[in-house]
Structures are given as C-alpha cells and as structure tokens.
Amino acid sequence: MAKFVISTRKNGEFQFNLKASNGEVILTSEGYTTKAACLNGVESVKKNSVEEKRYEKLVAKNGKPYFTLKATNGQIIGQSQMYASERNRNNGIASVMKNAPVAEVVEI
C-alpha cells in the first residue's frame, strides 16, 4: 500500500514523499517549517490528487518529463521525479491519483 513518509531535512524543515507500494517515490513536497504545515500539505495532496486539472505536465531543461500537483490556489504542493518518457510521467500521475487519497501517513 502507498504511504506518505514524513521526514526532517538537514535544515530542520519537514517534508513528505508519497511512496508507491513498491517503495518508489512518486511525489515530493517542498520544505515546511512545522510538522503541522507538512501534515496540512499531505491533506491537500489527498484532496487535490483526484482532479486531473490539478496536474501540470512539464519538461525539464534536460528534456526529461515530470509533473507538479497544484492546490486550488495554484500553489505547487508536490513534484514528481524526472521520467524517461511522457508515457512514464503519465503513469506517475495515474499512480498519484490512485494512491494518494488512501495512503497512510508515517513518520521517520
């Protein structure tokens, strides 16, 4: 089962990674100054991940496709890894849409 893994960065900020059932990271958050703000970010991903219009499909300078997930206010709440192809990126979006709403939250 997929899960949100909350961790603390070296600079003391909190972040989450949404990991698929195979352990692969499919979405990463920005840094948050408090754990409460990070948990709010998780809830925002759960809520917004089911709406396809919240995803922005992008291509990095190196040509690799990736995507961001945005909240209703337009703020980016998560970013994917870089993918080898647009097809893989689209599969990543489908995975977030399927897994995020039901993923458990764990802290490390």
**Structural domains of the chain, with CATH:** 3-102 (2.30.29.80)
Backbone angles phi, psi at 97, to 5 degrees: -60, -40
pLDDT of residue 108: 86
pLDDT band at 4 (very low <50, low <70, confident <90, very high): very high
Helix extents (H) in 1-108: 35-48, 86-99
- Report the share of the chain in percent with pLDDT over 70: 100
Per-residue pLDDT, 1: 87
Instruction: Give residue-wise pLDDT tens across range 23-72.
Output: 999 999 999 999 999 999 999 999 999 999 999 999 999 999 999 999 99
Specify whether the CB–CB gap between 5 and 99 falls below 8 A: no
| pLDDT tens, residue by residue, 58-108 | 999 999 999 999 999 999 999 999 999 999 999 999 999 999 999 999 998
The gap between the terminal CA atoms of the chain, to the nearest Å, is 17
